[in-house]
């Protein structure tokens, strides 16, 4: 069929050699990549300790949480792979990273969503030209619909309750669902308020403008359980 002739086996005497694909890292580059991840340091709360999941000896990564995978795809791999792979491999991977960065933002702009919705089919076509067909299933096709869902449902952060409870919702009555949603909403609002208070405290402390009364109020609010209902 003459598909990707550069990957066809090559007969060399009695041996048959299979050429290396363009997306395959050399042993040296693979070690550099794992060494980069092993020495990686990120701000507190940005992700878990990814360096603890890296095995330099066996060149393996294990124990990653789902959030760590998002961090790797959106922020780390585009930086780590630059210069190691050809442009035809790196370009669609970086574009896919940008797609998920825009999609995962706390604030979404309709123009940005329209743009990435038009770009994602092109990005997937570029990936299909590089990687083997076995890499592409229905889950890889799913990003085509994500930008449209975001335009309808808003940022993913405010839809995670429904996603995390979609299985249990089938077994709950309307009253039980309402109670569970209220408890979840109260917890999220409390976390949000505490984040604002901590940020205000850091700003006031930086400029040394925290009077004793404000200091007492902020500390008391942080230590107590906030009840909004």
Residue 227 has pLDDT above 50, yes or no: no
Per-residue confidence (pLDDT) for residue 228, from 0 to 100? 43
For the entire predicted model, the pTM comes to 0.65
Buried b (16+ CB within 10 A) or exposed e, 152-185: eeeebeeeeeeeeeeeeeeeeeeeeeeeeeeeee
3-state helix, strand, coil in the chain (%, to 5): 65, 5, 30
Q: What are the structure tokens assigned to 214, written together?
A: 């404000």
Residue 229 has pLDDT above 50, yes or no: no
Residue 224 has pLDDT above 60, yes or no: no
Return mean pLDDT, the chain: 79
Mean pLDDT, to the nearest integer, of 180-199? 73
Cβ contacts of 153 within 8 Å, gap of 6 or more = 159
């Amino acid at each position: 069929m003459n598909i990707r002739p550069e990957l066809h086996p090559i007969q060399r005497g009695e041996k048959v050699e299979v050429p290396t694909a363009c997306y395959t890292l050399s042993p040296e580059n693979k070690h550099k990549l794992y060494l980069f991840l092993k020495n990686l340091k990120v701000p507190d709360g940005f992700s878990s300790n990814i360096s603890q999941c890296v095995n330099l000896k066996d060149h393996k990564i294990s124990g990653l949480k789902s959030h760590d995978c998002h961090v790797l795809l959106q922020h780390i791999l585009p930086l780590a792979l630059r210069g190691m792979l050809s442009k035809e491999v790196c370009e669609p991977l970086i574009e896919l990273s940008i797609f998920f960065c825009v999609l995962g933002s706390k604030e979404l702009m309709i123009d940005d969503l329209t743009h990435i919705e038009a770009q994602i089919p092109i990005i997937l076509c570029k990936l299909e030209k590089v990687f083997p067909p076995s890499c592409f299933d229905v889950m890889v096709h799913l990003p085509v619909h994500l930008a449209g869902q975001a335009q309808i449902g808003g940022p993913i952060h405010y839809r995670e309750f429904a996603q995390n409870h979609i299985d249990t919702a089938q077994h709950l009555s309307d009253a039980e669902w309402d109670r569970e949603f209220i408890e979840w909403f109260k917890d999220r609002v409390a976390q949000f308020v505490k984040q604002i208070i901590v940020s205000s405290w850091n700003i006031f402390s930086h400029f040394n403008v925290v009077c004793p009364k404000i200091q007492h109020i902020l500390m008391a609010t942080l230590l107590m359980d906030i009840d909004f209902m």
